[in-house]
Amino acid sequence: MLKMISNNHRKGHHQHFYHQMLVSSHIGGAAKLAIEIHEHAVKRYGEVSQLLLPKGGEAERLAFEKRFPYINYKLDWLQSSNRLMGSLANFHLQLKLRKHGEGIIHIHSPFVYGAISPFLFLSNLKTVLHIHLDFKEKELGWSLRFPPDLIFVCANFIRSNVENALPRRKGRKTKIEILLNAVDTKRFFPSNRSKAKAALGIDPDIPLLMMIANLAPHKGQETALRTVAALKKIGHYVRLCVVGQERDASAHYSNFLKKMSAELGIDQNVQFMGFRNDVPELLRAADIVLLPSNSEGLPLVILEAQATKSVVLAAPTAGIPEVVENGKTGYLIKSDDHDGYTQTISYLLRNRDKIGKVSENAYMSVRDKCNIDHYCTHVFEEYRRLLGSEL
């Protein structure tokens, strides 16, 4: 397929090009989805896609290891308050993009889009903005002063703020498309949980709780630790794996959490695992996944957990209630309510059949509604409409 498309280029056949613009050197949910869209493009259409990456960090290392085509850019320069520096960086980027001809630039942050939007006309590309987090109307106003051709939002609840932030102008109206996040069910799938625990060196008979998120106060690791301590007091011995790293180099919050764990008397129950590349295997081992976060969009880890038949307990934040139906496909509990998390986990540990029913419901839901193949197909259908051509 790659050779055929290369031949089409040489014969002069028209071929659009697709740019996925990652906006962090770290690999979070938005970056994972951008990479999935890139891989879908290459698989279906050949060498017609590349990544735009901030220089240095996990994202560039991954692109290098997987041999993804990519262009580096300096994020701080693009967003510089120095107008000359910002203009030069943007002009240089647009020149690189023009070399590939017509196509799509898909930008995965409103703030990066806002910084480069005055210059995007130079690239001759259709513009797609993807909003993955819950931003307020005032936060979005500056970013959307030059509206893109299309906006994807990761959950329905985000739509109204985006609509209200768009400038009121006559003429063309920016389309807003709801695109629920999705998971690759070929990577995230259930297996024998006891064997998965044993592979991690964890006693299969001990209930395993897991939290996978950046270490940050808004993510709710403190609630998870207090929950483990409360469970221990009422006679439930559980293990908690805290997966993720702190993005602040000072590691202040990481150290705080470890100290808190010791003070609560649960340092033997809690394992801080740091950044991991084996998230599917970790989730296949987890009985329950916690995300008591007070700020989100629609976290991929929830869908990934549901796809591996781990039961999700999460705060009813942002788009989470759109994929977690309380008591049916998971449980919704306020972010700071560690008593609520404790009582729900205690109930599940005493009623193991309920774990099976909830996890099965969630698995069926995510398989049918949040499949990555359907997700990418939808993206390219919208690309086709923008470009006015068949892909």
Please give the average per-residue pLDDT across 268-288, as a whole number. 96
pLDDT in tens, 154-183: 999 999 999 999 998 766 689 999 999 999
Strands 103-107 and 125-131 turn out to be parallel
- Beginning with the edge strand found earlier in the chain, give each strand of the sheet holding 288-291 in spatial order: 270-274, 239-243, 208-212, 288-291, 311-314, 331-332
Residue 387 reports pLDDT greater than 50: yes
* Amino acid symbol at 42: V
What's the whole-model pTM score? 0.88
pLDDT in tens, 294-306: 988 899 999 999 9
Q: Are 196 and 285 in contact (CB under 8 A)?
A: yes
What CATH number is given to the structural domain containing 249?
3.40.50.2000
Q: Are residues 22 and 141 in the same domain?
A: yes
Residue 276 counted as domain residue: yes
More confident of the two residues 296 and 108: 108
Q: Are residues 297 and 333 in the same domain?
A: yes
Q: Are residues 381 and 354 in the same domain?
A: no
Please give the average per-residue pLDDT across 309-325, as a whole number. 95
pLDDT in tens, 51-97: 999 988 889 999 999 999 999 999 999 999 999 999 999 999 999 99
Q: Are residues 359 and 382 in the same domain?
A: no
The pLDDT-based confidence of 391 (bands split at 50, 70, 90) is low
Give burial (CB, 10 Å; 0-12/13-18/19+) of 154. Answer: buried
Q: Are residues 208 and 356 in the same domain?
A: yes
Q: Are residues 119 and 239 in the same domain?
A: no
Residue 236 reports pLDDT greater than 70: yes
d(Cα 185, Cα 367) in Å, to the nearest integer? 7
Show the domain range for 119.
2-182+371-387
Q: Are residues 218 and 155 in the same domain?
A: no
Q: Are residues 8 and 151 in the same domain?
A: yes
Residue 144 reports pLDDT greater than 60: yes
Q: What is the pLDDT of residue 86?
A: 92
d(Cα 290, Cα 120) in Å, to the nearest integer? 40
Q: Are 299 and 320 in contact (CB under 8 A)?
A: yes
